[in-house]
Structure 1
Amino acid sequence: MFLWRKWSFIPWNELQLRNERNLQGDVSLVPALWRGNPVMVKLVEKNVDTESEQMLRNEIMMVKTLSHPSIPLYYGWGESEKELFLVMELLRGASLEKMRNTLKGDYAKVAEIFYRCVEVVEYLHSRNIIHRDLKPSNFFVLEGGCNIKVLDFGVAKSFRANATLTGDTGSYWYMAPEVISDGYVENEKQYDMKADIYSMGIILNELLTGVTPYIEYPDATPWQIANTVLRQGLRPQLVADCPCLTEFQSLIQACWVEDPRNRPNISQVRIEMFEILKRMGISVKDYNKTSCNLQ
């Protein structure tokens, strides 16, 4: 593995970009070589989409302060006359979104992977960072195991203890009611780290059911779903009632309860997942040695 500990300004001409590009909205992910090593370059065109450019600048400022096994290695950033870019390690594996069907019914594997997701969110919250866009496509499971990486810090936010945030950010299906504000309520609601907890509950339910949230409403737009979540307390169809899923159900419902003050914090979620893993016969002590077949 290419190791680079120093955060760098990277000149554009040091990158050898490959032809293929993975477009995510107005952001491109491009495999490249930097100093002879494979990397991934995340870039936006400057002065074309100012929102995407600002989100990437926010991500650049955020990730250079982070260090955790479940956060990608970021080597540096740069900008040319036309493009702003961030250089990170090249990941091999698949997002939780793409693995959803593979994981359906494999509750042990879901529990292991979700525990890893909880660990990295706990790290972020310990640094007073709220991700604000947690969803399966932003968790990447590495090849050959249950290790994960959390992606996309474009809307992540640092805040002071006891502070709250306002504004509509994230993806509607995973967005907490208190975050769904713009265009739906007269005054913006305030929110904090408990918004991430809500998202984690939606994600866990999705991994256990193997279907996207609100699939039972095929004709509804994301905005209609969001409005119903906000005004009528709509939630995705809970994972099927099965004795082995009772503990998962209780945790999911605790995470997506309406009042954020009544949701657990991320450390409480981790402790509950720790206990679930033990009761499933998965030794937490040997957790790092546990392998997952991702084929």
Structure 2
Amino acid sequence: MSCCEKSGDGKKEIEEFKRPGQKKVADDSIQMGRRSVGKNDTAQVSPCEIDEKVLIDPRLLFVGSKIGEGAHGKVYEGKYGEKIVAIKVLNSGDTPEDKATLKGRFIREVNMMCRVKHENLVKFIGACKDPIMVIATELLPGTSLKNYLNSIRPRKLDLRTTISFALDIARAMDCLHANGIIHRDLKPDNLLLTANQKNIKLIDFGLAREETVTEMMTAETGTYRWMAPELYSTVTLRRGEKKHYTNKVDVYSFGIVLWELLTNRMPFEGMSNLQAAYAAAFKQERPPLPEDAPPELVFVVQSCWVEDPNSRPSFSQIIRMLNAFLFTLPPPSPEQSPELSPEAEAVPTVATSCGEHDTSPSSSSRKRHKLSFIRQLFVPKKTTSNKGRE
């Protein structure tokens, strides 16, 4: 990958990034601050600037093989000093307008990533703004949730693993929302498993926004299958159309992801992205829930993807509901796989983490009690009107 800096006054030309272990990445004459960010660093920085404390020395950054590519840049495996890192190299744009837009997106992403820290958010290492825009984060050796689910299909996750993954995602999102950040692109592609495949971390703040500036943001956000209808529910689906929305767009996306964890299927199967958007926004369609899914989780999913954003729960409420359900599950059986439900390989009934659901009258009574308890944890706000609902 070529990347050149204008030469002059003895400055060297940057020809390309090198693999880890090779010598040169950036111009030796570029002077940038080393990263020195303490846990409680709260220096005020203009939203149009990057805190100098999070800038890293490009001379210590070595880039290896490409491991991913998106609409706004490429991701490489690399090293920063002795650390193995993921290096996101952002596109710089061709026109002055594109350059300004992409630079603004880069600054926004860096400022948000260095502000939030959570065990379920990918760890931010630092950034470079010259000669090119680069963001370095921890490198997770695990695969994406999307690839993982594809690899085990048609098998499903067991309930304990489903809830564990869902809680990791909800906690990450709760942290973002507590810091006034809307992710806007929550989907399995942006969720990475840790090396032991027991936990999930959220990545990619490229489309994230501050809540204070979302009143008239564009609908040019994440993939339509996971996007909340209010982001594009207009007469047309023109790219860049202005829309009002809140952080509840992330809650809708979470509902779709939770449905995927339960079913291990693609949402809106058989539809294109635009067909899925039309079905969700104009026909109020949602992916079909399995008839044998636990009613407690059905309630959570349906609460998240309800049409009225004000009627969706917050992530703190989602966490309480999921924990309430998790605590009712029996302990896992030693002979059962901790990750996969046996139901996809044997019989078409949902299995809990220690076997099939009990269908006795006493069990039905317990289920009703659990669902009633979970419903009490979330009472949606009443709205005076909702013109978009039937």
Q: Does 1:205 align with 2:255?
A: no
Aligned to 2:236: 184
Residue ranges of structure 1 left out of the alignment (5+ in a row): 284-290
Aligned to 2:115: 65
Correspondent of 1:152 among 201, 204, 208: 204
Aligned to 1:76: 126
Residue ranges of structure 2 left out of the alignment (5+ in a row): 1-34, 38-52, 341-390
- In 1, Cα distance between the equivalents of 2:314 and 2:258? 15
Give matches, 1:5-84, under 5 Å: 6=37, 7-48=53-94, 50=99, 53-81=103-131, 83-84=132-133
Aligned to 1:287: none
Please tell me the residue identity of whatever aligns with 1:223.
L
* Larger RCO (CA under 8 A, 6+ residues apart): 1
Cα distance, 1:95 vs. partner? Answer: 1.4
Cα distance, 1:254 vs. partner? Answer: 1.0
Please tell me the residue identity of whatever aligns with 1:29.
V
- CA deviations on 1:92-135 (whole Å, 9 max, x unpaired) are 11211112243714222111111111111111111121111111
User: Residues 70, 105 of structure 1: CA spacing in aligned structure 2 closer, same or farther, 3 A cutoff?
Assistant: closer
- In 2, Cα distance between the equivalents of 1:33 and 1:152? 19
- CA deviations on 1:249-271 (whole Å, 9 max, x unpaired) are 11111111111111111111111
- In 1, Cα distance between the equivalents of 2:288 and 2:305? 12
- In 2, Cα distance between the equivalents of 1:271 and 1:143? 27
- In 1, Cα distance between the equivalents of 2:284 and 2:322? 25
Identity %, equivalent residues? 28
Q: Does 1:193 align with 2:239?
A: no
Give matches, 1:280-295, under 5 Å: 280-281=329-330
- In 2, Cα distance between the equivalents of 1:205 and 1:98? 16
Please tell me the residue identity of whatever aligns with 2:319.
R
Q: TM-score, normalised by structure 2?
A: 0.65
Please tell me the residue identity of whatever aligns with 1:89.
E
User: Residues 128, 35 of structure 1: CA spacing in aligned structure 2 closer, same or farther, 3 A cutoff?
Assistant: same
- In 2, Cα distance between the equivalents of 1:141 and 1:77? 23
1:144–1:292 contact (8 Å) kept in structure 2: no
Aligned to 1:260: 309
Cα distance, 1:278 vs. partner? Answer: 0.7
RMSD: 2.7
Cα distance, 1:23 vs. partner? Answer: 1.8
User: Residues 55, 104 of structure 1: CA spacing in aligned structure 2 closer, same or farther, 3 A cutoff?
Assistant: farther
Cα distance, 1:181 vs. partner? Answer: 4.5
User: Residues 147, 93 of structure 1: CA spacing in aligned structure 2 closer, same or farther, 3 A cutoff?
Assistant: same
- CA deviations on 1:216-253 (whole Å, 9 max, x unpaired) are xx2x3211221221111121122x111x5221111111
- In 2, Cα distance between the equivalents of 1:204 and 1:31? 30
Q: Does 1:136 align with 2:188?
A: yes
Structure 1 counterpart SS, 2:256: helix
- In 1, Cα distance between the equivalents of 2:70 and 2:102? 10
Please tell me the residue identity of whatever aligns with 1:97.
K
Please tell me the residue identity of whatever aligns with 1:80.
D
- In 1, Cα distance between the equivalents of 2:104 and 2:321? 37
- In 2, Cα distance between the equivalents of 1:44 and 1:153? 12
**Bigger-Rg structure (1/2):** 2
- In 1, Cα distance between the equivalents of 2:331 and 2:87? 37
Structure 1 counterpart SS, 2:66: coil
Q: Does 1:226 align with 2:280?
A: no
2:161–2:339 contact (8 Å) kept in structure 1: no
Aligned to 1:288: none
